[in-house]
């Protein structure tokens, strides 16, 4: 059973059309949830770290939120340059491992 599930697998938006990406997790004792952006053929770029339910982080058009079972990455008025695959990862208590979801591929059309 996957510990980290991201949805949808792919999302197409028009420029300016706001939406949200979901990351649900089943690990116990969460010791951090991390969001990354990955462009084709490149390494993931770190975006946010969230540690506890209710926490929110913002950066430009992106806002990440965390509950006890899931995290959302809200994208407000996206631009074509926001097109990328967005990855979510979690670290659970008692483990040093960082477990990744399969990602959401976002395409923003002009």
Binding residues (CB under 8 A) for another protein: these are 4, 31-32, 34, 36, 41-46, 49, 87, 89, 91, 96-103
Of 18 and 95, CB closest to another protein: 95
The least CB distance from residue 16 to another protein, in Å, is 30
* DSSP secondary structure of 22-58: EEEE--SSEEEEEEEEE-TTS--EEEEEE-STT-EEE
Find the shortest distance in angstroms from Cβ 104 to another protein.
11
H helices of 45-97, in order, are none
What is the closest distance, in whole angstroms, from the C-beta atom of residue 96 to another protein in the complex?
A: 4
For residue 84, cis peptide bond before it (omega within 30 degrees of 0): no
């Amino acid at each position: 059973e996957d510990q980290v599930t991201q949805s949808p697998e792919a999302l197409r938006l028009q420029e300016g059309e706001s939406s949200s990406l979901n990351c649900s997790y089943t690990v116990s004792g969460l010791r951090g949830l991390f969001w990354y952006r990955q462009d084709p053929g490149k390494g993931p770029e770190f975006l946010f770290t969230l540690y506890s339910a209710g926490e929110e982080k913002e950066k430009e058009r992106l806002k990440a939120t965390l509950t006890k079972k899931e995290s959302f990455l809200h994208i407000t008025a996206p631009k074509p340059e926001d097109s990328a695959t967005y990855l979510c990862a979690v670290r659970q208590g008692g483990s040093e491992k960082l477990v990744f979801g399969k990602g959401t591929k976002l395409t923003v059309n002009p």
